[in-house]
């Protein structure tokens, strides 16, 4: 259990949050929401004692441990398995299968296990840190944006893992669907205060809206009452016959206090600049081959047709070629073979992870927006900057001083400034907060043209796209249907999530909890004798090692003093001790092997049932 009490934090003149109090109780999985810059990551750092609060305290019970997703990369072992197992206690290091299961779930193959952890890309190195954190089995797991580094299959695996995690979870993510499917409660930073509500983000924001509506109506009633009282005082205050009543009304006005108004919250306001066209077929791809090495193709004999109004999602594991395919179709990369025809009437807006590098560091935000459409009135360009949360003088900031997330918003503003009827978008929501993502999603739904979208968001795949391009079994294929239809008919490789979900659906939470407790008891009963034997053997080995060291010391002295009889006796004793050590080692290894199989059996049984 974690308790946060009267916490406040400011940076210079900006108050992030004040007088924050909440509790995370046993078994709760809590999502932390709030706009970009509201202090979510700062709150995490305070909880982990990486940053100090101005006021208040964070407390948790003795022996309560915290685990987090470390963004700092430092590996000290030569292979992936050893690096992951380095966080385990010595007596638990035999459980390498647990590390292997976690690594496999997060997208690593068995052939990766012996590779150097430093040989993986940045995103996969973050996953290694996530595995190391999960192996520690902390009481509370703090995860700050873990979904940024996961492909869709790993994301689905992590979703199921967190649902069955035995401890508490505190999670920051901009992926609303992920948060809602994992979390039991939501804690939100809103107007520098914090509120905790049971349920998902829909419940949270509905509750906030209801409370603010009640507050505003109350303030309106107070205002109307004050105006009524003030009118009486103005009209009758000077009359002697009404003096006492006027004085009473004045006191009532004072008791009502000042009228409070909620500060306006700046919302991101998106509107795509649609370029009308009567053309039907936008894009045709015929017999497309591509590979950075022509002898090892990523894409083989791919065919595709996209019509006006089609909204196509591109899905698959990381590294399979999703962004590459988007860049080929846009024209950034040339195919090895095949033909790509883009209709002359298409006006393409492209958002890619590398486009940020194409921004001019010395230009202002406003300059970049204007460069996308010089015919756009300056007032409209400024309005677009404001829509992306760069209002007034903020629009005059130079690109070189912006964060990665701010540069991404500049790219979106440039796309909106241009007249488009075909959008190519590669993970466009990574740097938007949850509310902005909702606005963006609705605008994509309403967009009249065609869309090619690379995303790992299952919410976007369900709500926005109606067709899919998917990478599976070394091939890229087209699926003429929505995401849920794809899961039912095709699904992802090596994934048994649906079967797990079905099993969970047949049992109540109470039944699942009872089953889990029964399995844990059986596991403990079967393992305890072996664990006790292993402890005894480890104690015996320690004693034998000490005896062997003493005999070796005596033997050295006897040899030096040429005591032949004693040398023979000590040598015989040394042989007997070494034989005992070898026997004890053999027994301990057998027990460790037995325990490994038993742990694996019961852990798989627990995982198949799910969480309560």
Do 519 and 558 lie in one domain? The reply is: yes
Do 539 and 590 lie in one domain? The reply is: yes
pLDDT in tens, 581-606: 878 877 877 787 777 778 777 777 77
**Do the domain assignments include residue 57?**
yes
Do 106 and 190 lie in one domain? The reply is: yes
The pair of structure tokens assigned to 334 is 């040339």
Q: Given CA atoms 275, 276, 279, 283 in this order, what sign does their dihedral have? A: positive
**Do the domain assignments include residue 263?**
no
- Write out 552-604 in H/E/C secondary structure: HHHHHHHHHCCCHHHHHHHHHHHHHHHHHHHHHHHHHHHHHHHHHHHHHHHHH
CATH of the domain at 199: 3.40.50.300
Last residue of a domain, one of 162, 190, 205: 205
**Do the domain assignments include residue 461?**
yes
What is d(CA 430, CA 555) in angstroms, rounded to the nearest whole number?
69
- 493 or 312, higher pLDDT: 312
At residue 503 the predicted structure's pLDDT band, cuts being 50, 70 and 90, is very low
The pair of structure tokens assigned to 166 is 């035995």
What total number of domains does the chain contain? 4
Do 481 and 493 lie in one domain? The reply is: yes
Find the mean pLDDT for residues 448-467.
92
Q: Are 507 and 521 in contact (CB under 8 A)?
A: no
What pLDDT, on the 0 to 100 scale, is given for residue 495?
Answer: 52
Do 55 and 190 lie in one domain? The reply is: yes
Residue at token pair 């004890």 = 584
What does residue 193 show for φ and ψ, rounded to 5 degrees?
-115, 170
**Do the domain assignments include residue 265?**
no
What is d(CA 482, CA 479) in angstroms, rounded to the nearest whole number?
8
What pLDDT, on the 0 to 100 scale, is given for residue 504?
Answer: 40
**Do the domain assignments include residue 268?**
no
What pLDDT, on the 0 to 100 scale, is given for residue 497?
Answer: 42
Q: Which domain holds residue 314?
A: 273-501
Last residue of a domain, one of 485, 501, 517: 501
Do 544 and 560 lie in one domain? The reply is: yes
pLDDT in tens, 231-286: 766 765 555 545 566 556 566 656 655 545 544 445 555 678 889 999 999 999 99
Do 452 and 554 lie in one domain? The reply is: no
| Helical segments of 490-563, H only | 497-505, 509-560
% residues pLDDT > 70 (the chain): 86
For all residues of the chain together, what is the average pLDDT?
82
What pLDDT, on the 0 to 100 scale, is given for residue 93?
Answer: 63
Q: Exposed, middle or buried: residue 450 (CB in 10 Å: 0-12, 13-18, 19+)?
A: buried
Do 335 and 468 lie in one domain? The reply is: yes
Do 89 and 158 lie in one domain? The reply is: yes
Among 87-91, 482-486, 522-526, the range scoring the smallest mean pLDDT is 87-91
pLDDT above 50 (res 501): no
**Do the domain assignments include residue 76?**
yes
CA nearest to 60, candidates 147, 170, 148, 149: 170
Maximum distance among all alpha carbons in the chain? 130
The pair of structure tokens assigned to 229 is 């009282």
What is d(CA 189, CA 17) in angstroms, rounded to the nearest whole number?
7
pLDDT above 60 (res 19): yes
Do 344 and 487 lie in one domain? The reply is: yes
What is d(CA 539, CA 541) in angstroms, rounded to the nearest whole number?
5
Do 439 and 526 lie in one domain? The reply is: no
Last residue of a domain, one of 471, 501, 531: 501
Exposure string over 336-372, b if 16+ CB within 10 A, otherwise e: bebebebbeebbbbbbbbebbeebeeebbbbbbbbeb
% residues pLDDT > 90 (the chain): 22
Do 289 and 245 lie in one domain? The reply is: no
Query: What angle in degrees, to the nearest 10, is found between the helix axes of 243-256 and 201-236?
Result: 160
Cα–Cα–Cα angle for 533, 538, 539, rounded to 5 degrees = 100
pLDDT in tens, 176-195: 888 898 999 999 888 788 88
What pLDDT, on the 0 to 100 scale, is given for residue 548?
Answer: 86
């Amino acid at each position: 259990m974690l308790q946060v009490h009267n916490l406040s934090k400011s940076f210079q003149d900006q108050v992030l949050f004040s007088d924050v109090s909440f509790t995370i109780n046993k078994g709760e999985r809590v999502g932390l929401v709030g706009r970009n810059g509201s202090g979510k990551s700062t709150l995490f750092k305070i909880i982990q004692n990486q940053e100090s609060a101005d006021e208040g305290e964070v407390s948790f019970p003795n022996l309560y441990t915290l685990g987090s997703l470390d963004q700092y990369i430092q590996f000290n072992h030569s292979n992936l398995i050893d690096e992951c197992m380095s966080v385990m206690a010595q007596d638990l290091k035999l459980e390498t299968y647990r590390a292997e299961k976690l690594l496999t779930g997060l997208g690593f193959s068995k052939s990766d296990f012996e590779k150097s952890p430093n040989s993986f890309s940045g995103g996969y190195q973050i996953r290694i840190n996530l595995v190391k954190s999960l192996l520690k089995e902390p009481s509370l797991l703090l995860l700050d944006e873990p979904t940024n580094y996961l492909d869709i299959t790993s994301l689905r695996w992590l979703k199921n893992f967190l649902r069955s995690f035995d401890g508490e979870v505190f999670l920051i993510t901009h992926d609303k669907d992920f948060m809602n499917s994992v979390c039991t409660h939501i804690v939100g930073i809103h107007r520098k205060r914090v509120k905790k509500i049971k349920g998902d983000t829909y419940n949270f924001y509905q509750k906030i809206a209801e409370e603010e509506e009640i507050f505003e109506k109350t303030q309106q009633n107070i205002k109307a009452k004050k105006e009524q009282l003030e009118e009486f005082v103005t009209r009758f205050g000077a009359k002697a016959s009404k003096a006492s009543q006027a004085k009473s009304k004045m006191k009532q006005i004072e008791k009502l206090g000042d009228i409070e108004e909620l500060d306006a919250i700046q919302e991101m306001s998106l509107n795509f600049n649609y370029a009308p066209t009567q053309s039907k077929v936008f894009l045709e791809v015929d017999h497309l081959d591509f590979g950075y090495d022509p002898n090892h193709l990523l894409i083989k004999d791919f065919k595709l047709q996209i019509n006006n109004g089609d909204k196509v999602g591109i899905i698959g594991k990381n590294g399979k070629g999703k962004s590459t395919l988007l860049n080929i179709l846009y024209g950034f990369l040339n195919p090895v073979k095949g033909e790509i025809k883009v209709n002359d009437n298409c006006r393409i807006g492209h958002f890619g992870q590398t486009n940020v590098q194409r921004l001019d560091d010395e230009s202002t935000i406003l300059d970049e927006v204007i460069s996308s459409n010089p015919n756009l009135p300056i007032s409209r360009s400024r309005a677009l900057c404001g829509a992306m949360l760069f209002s007034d003088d903020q629009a005059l900031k130079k690109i070189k001083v912006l964060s990665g997330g701010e540069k991404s918003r500049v790219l979106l503003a440039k796309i909106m400034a241009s007249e488009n009827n075909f959008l190519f978008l590669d993970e466009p929501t990574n740097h938007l907060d949850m509310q902005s993502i909702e606005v963006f999603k609705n605008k994509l739904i309403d967009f009249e043209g065609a869309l090619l979208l690379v995303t790992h968001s299952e919410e976007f795949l369900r709500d926005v796209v109606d067709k899919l391009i998917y990478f599976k079994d070394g091939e890229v294929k087209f699926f003429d249907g929505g995401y849920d239809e794809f899961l039912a008919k095709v699904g992802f490789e090596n994934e048994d999530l649906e079967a797990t979900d079905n099993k969970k659906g047949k049992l109540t939470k109470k039944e699942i909890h009872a089953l889990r407790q029964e399995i844990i008891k059986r596991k403990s009963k079967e393992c305890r004798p072996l664990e006790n034997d292993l402890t005894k053997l480890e104690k015996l080995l320690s004693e034998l090692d000490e005896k062997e060291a003493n005999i070796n010391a005596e033997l050295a002295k006897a040899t030096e003093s040429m005591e032949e009889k004693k040398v023979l006796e000590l040598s015989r004793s040394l042989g007997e001790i070494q034989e005992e050590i070898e026997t004890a080692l053999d027994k301990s290894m057998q027990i460790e092997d037995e325990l490994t199989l038993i742990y694996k059996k019961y852990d798989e049984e627990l995982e198949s049932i799910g969480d309560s």
